[in-house]
Amino acid sequence: MRVLLVTGMSGSGKSIALNVLEDAGYAVVDNLPSRFLLEVISELRENGHESVAVSIDVRGGIASVTELPDLLSVLRRFGGDVQVLFLTADTPTLVQRYSETRRRHPLSQPGGERTLEECIEEERRVLAVLDGIGQSIDTSRLPAHTLRSWVRDFIGSDRSGLTILFESFAFKDGVPLDADLVFDVRCLPNPHYDPELRPLTGRDPPVMEFLAAIPMVGQMIGDIGDFIARWLPSYVQDNRSYLTVAIGCTGGQHRSVYCVEQLVRRFRLQDPVLVRHRALDTKTSPLF
Protein backbone atom coordinates (compact mmCIF):
# COMPACT_ATOMS: atom_id res chain seq x y z
CA MET A 1 0.00 0.00 0.00
CA ARG A 2 1.28 3.44 -0.94
CA VAL A 3 0.54 6.20 1.57
CA LEU A 4 1.15 9.84 0.67
CA LEU A 5 0.79 12.43 3.41
CA VAL A 6 0.05 15.93 2.12
CA THR A 7 0.76 18.74 4.56
CA GLY A 8 2.15 22.26 4.71
CA MET A 9 1.11 25.88 4.92
CA SER A 10 -2.52 26.91 4.64
CA GLY A 11 -3.06 28.53 1.25
CA SER A 12 -0.07 26.79 -0.36
CA GLY A 13 -2.10 24.66 -2.78
CA LYS A 14 -2.88 21.45 -0.89
CA SER A 15 -6.39 21.30 -2.36
CA ILE A 16 -4.94 21.44 -5.86
CA ALA A 17 -2.51 18.63 -5.01
CA LEU A 18 -5.29 16.48 -3.54
CA ASN A 19 -7.39 16.92 -6.69
CA VAL A 20 -4.47 15.70 -8.79
CA LEU A 21 -4.03 12.68 -6.53
CA GLU A 22 -7.73 11.84 -6.64
CA ASP A 23 -7.66 12.02 -10.45
CA ALA A 24 -4.64 9.67 -10.36
CA GLY A 25 -6.66 7.03 -8.51
CA TYR A 26 -5.73 7.76 -4.92
CA ALA A 27 -8.26 7.39 -2.12
CA VAL A 28 -8.14 10.93 -0.68
CA VAL A 29 -8.89 11.94 2.90
CA ASP A 30 -8.72 15.69 3.61
CA ASN A 31 -8.32 17.47 6.96
CA LEU A 32 -7.86 14.30 9.03
CA PRO A 33 -6.89 14.76 12.71
CA SER A 34 -3.67 12.83 13.14
CA ARG A 35 -5.03 10.70 16.00
CA PHE A 36 -7.21 8.89 13.43
CA LEU A 37 -4.43 8.31 10.89
CA LEU A 38 -3.49 4.71 11.77
CA GLU A 39 -7.13 3.68 12.07
CA VAL A 40 -8.08 5.19 8.70
CA ILE A 41 -5.06 3.71 6.91
CA SER A 42 -5.86 0.27 8.36
CA GLU A 43 -9.49 0.46 7.25
CA LEU A 44 -8.61 1.61 3.75
CA ARG A 45 -6.07 -1.22 3.43
CA GLU A 46 -8.70 -3.76 4.46
CA ASN A 47 -11.03 -2.34 1.80
CA GLY A 48 -8.46 -2.97 -0.91
CA HIS A 49 -7.10 0.52 -1.55
CA GLU A 50 -3.53 0.43 -2.85
CA SER A 51 -2.85 4.19 -2.98
CA VAL A 52 -4.02 6.59 -0.28
CA ALA A 53 -3.45 10.34 0.15
CA VAL A 54 -4.16 11.93 3.52
CA SER A 55 -4.04 15.66 4.26
CA ILE A 56 -3.12 16.61 7.83
CA ASP A 57 -2.33 20.16 8.90
CA VAL A 58 -3.14 22.82 11.50
CA ARG A 59 -6.85 22.71 10.66
CA GLY A 60 -6.95 19.59 12.83
CA GLY A 61 -5.18 21.37 15.68
CA ILE A 62 -1.54 21.96 16.52
CA ALA A 63 -1.28 18.50 18.11
CA SER A 64 -2.15 16.95 14.73
CA VAL A 65 1.07 18.42 13.34
CA THR A 66 3.39 17.75 16.29
CA GLU A 67 2.31 14.09 16.47
CA LEU A 68 2.99 13.39 12.79
CA PRO A 69 6.70 12.40 12.91
CA ASP A 70 6.01 9.65 15.46
CA LEU A 71 2.97 8.41 13.55
CA LEU A 72 4.97 8.24 10.33
CA SER A 73 7.61 6.15 12.07
CA VAL A 74 4.90 3.71 13.18
CA LEU A 75 3.50 3.47 9.64
CA ARG A 76 6.93 2.83 8.15
CA ARG A 77 7.62 0.04 10.64
CA PHE A 78 4.72 -1.85 9.06
CA GLY A 79 6.66 -1.86 5.80
CA GLY A 80 4.40 0.43 3.78
CA ASP A 81 5.54 2.87 1.11
CA VAL A 82 5.06 6.12 3.05
CA GLN A 83 5.92 9.52 1.57
CA VAL A 84 5.38 13.11 2.62
CA LEU A 85 4.60 16.03 0.30
CA PHE A 86 5.08 19.39 2.04
CA LEU A 87 3.72 22.49 0.31
CA THR A 88 4.84 25.96 1.32
CA ALA A 89 4.93 29.54 0.03
CA ASP A 90 6.38 32.84 1.14
CA THR A 91 4.33 35.14 3.36
CA PRO A 92 3.51 37.84 0.75
CA THR A 93 2.14 35.16 -1.58
CA LEU A 94 -0.01 33.63 1.16
CA VAL A 95 -1.32 37.05 2.21
CA GLN A 96 -2.30 37.78 -1.39
CA ARG A 97 -4.11 34.44 -1.75
CA TYR A 98 -6.06 34.97 1.47
CA SER A 99 -6.95 38.48 0.31
CA GLU A 100 -8.30 37.08 -2.97
CA THR A 101 -10.30 34.23 -1.40
CA ARG A 102 -11.34 36.22 1.70
CA ARG A 103 -11.11 33.07 3.81
CA ARG A 104 -10.10 33.03 7.47
CA HIS A 105 -6.76 31.51 8.47
CA PRO A 106 -7.12 28.31 10.56
CA LEU A 107 -5.12 29.82 13.43
CA SER A 108 -7.12 33.02 13.59
CA GLN A 109 -9.86 33.53 16.17
CA PRO A 110 -13.09 35.47 15.62
CA GLY A 111 -12.49 38.85 17.20
CA GLY A 112 -8.91 37.85 18.03
CA GLU A 113 -5.89 40.12 18.09
CA ARG A 114 -3.67 38.25 15.62
CA THR A 115 -3.15 39.72 12.18
CA LEU A 116 -3.09 37.45 9.13
CA GLU A 117 0.70 37.79 8.88
CA GLU A 118 1.07 36.76 12.54
CA CYS A 119 -1.12 33.70 11.98
CA ILE A 120 0.99 32.70 8.97
CA GLU A 121 4.26 33.04 10.89
CA GLU A 122 2.82 31.07 13.83
CA GLU A 123 1.78 28.29 11.46
CA ARG A 124 5.26 28.29 9.92
CA ARG A 125 6.75 27.92 13.40
CA VAL A 126 4.43 25.00 14.24
CA LEU A 127 5.20 23.24 10.96
CA ALA A 128 8.96 23.49 11.54
CA VAL A 129 8.73 20.12 13.30
CA LEU A 130 8.12 18.58 9.85
CA ASP A 131 11.22 20.13 8.30
CA GLY A 132 13.09 17.65 6.13
CA ILE A 133 10.74 14.66 6.50
CA GLY A 134 9.55 14.70 2.89
CA GLN A 135 9.62 16.45 -0.46
CA SER A 136 8.94 20.17 -0.23
CA ILE A 137 7.42 22.27 -3.03
CA ASP A 138 7.53 26.06 -2.86
CA THR A 139 4.38 27.25 -4.64
CA SER A 140 5.19 30.97 -4.41
CA ARG A 141 4.05 32.64 -7.65
CA LEU A 142 3.38 29.24 -9.26
CA PRO A 143 0.46 28.90 -11.66
CA ALA A 144 -1.93 26.14 -10.61
CA HIS A 145 -1.23 24.14 -13.78
CA THR A 146 2.48 24.06 -12.94
CA LEU A 147 1.79 22.75 -9.44
CA ARG A 148 -0.44 20.06 -10.93
CA SER A 149 2.37 19.03 -13.27
CA TRP A 150 4.93 18.94 -10.46
CA VAL A 151 2.65 16.77 -8.28
CA ARG A 152 2.16 14.36 -11.18
CA ASP A 153 5.95 14.19 -11.59
CA PHE A 154 6.31 13.53 -7.86
CA ILE A 155 3.95 10.55 -7.75
CA GLY A 156 5.32 9.19 -11.00
CA SER A 157 9.00 9.35 -10.04
CA ASP A 158 11.14 6.33 -9.23
CA ARG A 159 10.86 5.86 -5.47
CA SER A 160 13.79 3.48 -5.09
CA GLY A 161 16.56 5.31 -3.26
CA LEU A 162 17.07 9.06 -3.45
CA THR A 163 15.71 11.24 -6.27
CA ILE A 164 17.65 14.38 -7.22
CA LEU A 165 15.47 17.33 -8.18
CA PHE A 166 17.31 19.96 -10.21
CA GLU A 167 15.60 23.35 -10.25
CA SER A 168 16.57 26.55 -12.05
CA PHE A 169 15.33 29.87 -10.69
CA ALA A 170 15.68 33.66 -10.90
CA PHE A 171 17.35 35.44 -8.00
CA LYS A 172 15.14 38.45 -8.72
CA ASP A 173 12.20 36.29 -7.56
CA GLY A 174 13.99 35.04 -4.43
CA VAL A 175 15.58 31.71 -3.51
CA PRO A 176 13.05 28.82 -3.60
CA LEU A 177 11.96 27.71 -0.13
CA ASP A 178 12.19 24.06 -1.13
CA ALA A 179 15.90 24.14 -2.01
CA ASP A 180 18.36 21.90 -0.12
CA LEU A 181 21.45 23.09 -2.02
CA VAL A 182 21.69 26.49 -3.78
CA PHE A 183 24.30 27.44 -6.38
CA ASP A 184 24.71 30.94 -7.84
CA VAL A 185 25.81 31.07 -11.51
CA ARG A 186 25.36 34.82 -12.01
CA CYS A 187 29.13 35.15 -12.37
CA LEU A 188 28.94 33.43 -15.79
CA PRO A 189 28.64 35.43 -19.04
CA ASN A 190 25.01 36.35 -19.66
CA PRO A 191 23.38 35.59 -23.06
CA HIS A 192 20.76 38.21 -22.21
CA TYR A 193 23.07 40.91 -23.56
CA ASP A 194 23.06 39.35 -27.04
CA PRO A 195 19.89 40.65 -28.78
CA GLU A 196 19.55 37.42 -30.79
CA LEU A 197 19.81 35.20 -27.69
CA ARG A 198 17.73 37.36 -25.32
CA PRO A 199 14.30 35.89 -26.21
CA LEU A 200 15.61 32.31 -26.10
CA THR A 201 16.22 29.99 -23.14
CA GLY A 202 19.01 27.74 -21.92
CA ARG A 203 17.31 24.82 -23.69
CA ASP A 204 17.59 26.41 -27.14
CA PRO A 205 20.58 25.34 -29.29
CA PRO A 206 21.97 28.86 -29.96
CA VAL A 207 22.16 29.60 -26.22
CA MET A 208 23.58 26.15 -25.50
CA GLU A 209 26.28 26.67 -28.13
CA PHE A 210 27.10 30.13 -26.75
CA LEU A 211 27.56 28.84 -23.18
CA ALA A 212 29.26 25.59 -24.17
CA ALA A 213 32.00 27.57 -25.92
CA ILE A 214 32.98 29.36 -22.68
CA PRO A 215 35.46 27.28 -20.60
CA MET A 216 34.45 28.75 -17.23
CA VAL A 217 30.85 27.64 -17.78
CA GLY A 218 31.93 24.04 -18.20
CA GLN A 219 34.21 24.34 -15.18
CA MET A 220 31.39 25.75 -13.01
CA ILE A 221 29.05 22.93 -14.03
CA GLY A 222 31.78 20.37 -13.40
CA ASP A 223 32.53 21.76 -9.94
CA ILE A 224 28.85 21.75 -8.96
CA GLY A 225 28.45 18.21 -10.26
CA ASP A 226 31.55 16.99 -8.41
CA PHE A 227 30.29 18.55 -5.16
CA ILE A 228 26.92 16.84 -5.49
CA ALA A 229 28.51 13.50 -6.40
CA ARG A 230 30.88 13.69 -3.44
CA TRP A 231 28.19 14.39 -0.85
CA LEU A 232 25.30 12.42 -2.36
CA PRO A 233 26.11 9.25 -0.37
CA SER A 234 25.81 11.26 2.86
CA TYR A 235 22.33 12.44 1.88
CA VAL A 236 21.38 8.84 1.07
CA GLN A 237 22.61 7.71 4.50
CA ASP A 238 20.44 10.47 6.03
CA ASN A 239 17.42 8.49 4.75
CA ARG A 240 16.30 11.26 2.40
CA SER A 241 13.94 10.46 -0.44
CA TYR A 242 14.55 13.71 -2.34
CA LEU A 243 17.41 16.21 -2.67
CA THR A 244 16.50 19.54 -4.30
CA VAL A 245 19.41 21.32 -6.00
CA ALA A 246 18.57 24.90 -7.02
CA ILE A 247 20.68 26.73 -9.62
CA GLY A 248 20.05 30.46 -9.86
CA CYS A 249 20.88 33.29 -12.24
CA THR A 250 19.44 36.78 -12.62
CA GLY A 251 16.38 36.00 -14.75
CA GLY A 252 16.21 32.22 -14.53
CA GLN A 253 16.06 31.95 -18.31
CA HIS A 254 19.51 31.26 -19.75
CA ARG A 255 22.46 30.34 -17.53
CA SER A 256 20.66 28.51 -14.72
CA VAL A 257 18.49 26.59 -17.19
CA TYR A 258 21.53 25.51 -19.20
CA CYS A 259 23.43 24.43 -16.08
CA VAL A 260 20.48 22.40 -14.82
CA GLU A 261 20.08 20.64 -18.16
CA GLN A 262 23.78 19.72 -18.24
CA LEU A 263 23.72 18.43 -14.66
CA VAL A 264 20.64 16.36 -15.45
CA ARG A 265 22.49 14.75 -18.35
CA ARG A 266 25.29 13.76 -15.98
CA PHE A 267 23.23 12.40 -13.08
CA ARG A 268 20.36 10.83 -15.04
CA LEU A 269 22.69 7.98 -15.99
CA GLN A 270 22.98 6.78 -12.38
CA ASP A 271 20.23 8.33 -10.25
CA PRO A 272 16.48 9.05 -10.51
CA VAL A 273 16.18 12.71 -11.54
CA LEU A 274 13.40 15.31 -11.77
CA VAL A 275 13.70 18.71 -13.51
CA ARG A 276 12.02 22.06 -12.82
CA HIS A 277 12.58 25.42 -14.48
CA ARG A 278 10.78 27.76 -12.10
CA ALA A 279 11.07 31.01 -14.09
CA LEU A 280 10.04 29.32 -17.35
CA ASP A 281 7.10 27.59 -15.66
CA THR A 282 5.78 30.84 -14.17
CA LYS A 283 5.51 32.95 -17.31
CA THR A 284 1.73 33.01 -16.91
CA SER A 285 0.00 34.63 -13.95
CA PRO A 286 -0.59 32.46 -10.85
CA LEU A 287 -4.03 30.86 -10.87
CA PHE A 288 -4.52 30.24 -7.14
**pLDDT, tens digit, 9 for 90 and up, residues 106-140:** 998 776 678 999 999 999 999 999 988 889 999 99
What are the residue ranges spanned by the domains of the chain? 2-156, 163-281
Query: What whole-number distance in Å separates Cα of residue 203 and Cα of residue 281?
Result: 13
Superfamily of domain 2-156: P-loop containing nucleotide triphosphate hydrolases (3.40.50.300)
**pLDDT, tens digit, 9 for 90 and up, residues 224-271:** 999 999 999 998 888 777 899 999 999 999 999 999 999 999 999 888
The whole-chain average pLDDT of the chain stands at 91
Strand segments (E) across the chain: 2-8, 27-29, 51-55, 81-88, 135-138, 163-170, 181-184, 242-249, 273-277
Taking residues 186-191, report their average pLDDT.
Answer: 97
The pLDDT value recorded for residue 283 is 67
* Edge-to-edge strands, sheet with 27-29: 27-29, 51-55, 2-8, 81-88, 135-138
Query: What whole-number distance in Å separates Cα of residue 139 and Cα of residue 88?
Result: 6
Residue 79 neighbours by CB distance under 10 Å = 8
Q: Is 26 left (phi over 0), alpha (psi -120 to 50) or beta?
A: beta
**The pTM is what?**
0.79
Query: What whole-number distance in Å separates Cα of residue 124 and Cα of residue 177?
Result: 12
**pLDDT, tens digit, 9 for 90 and up, residues 24-37:** 999 999 999 999 99
84 strand-pairing partners: 5
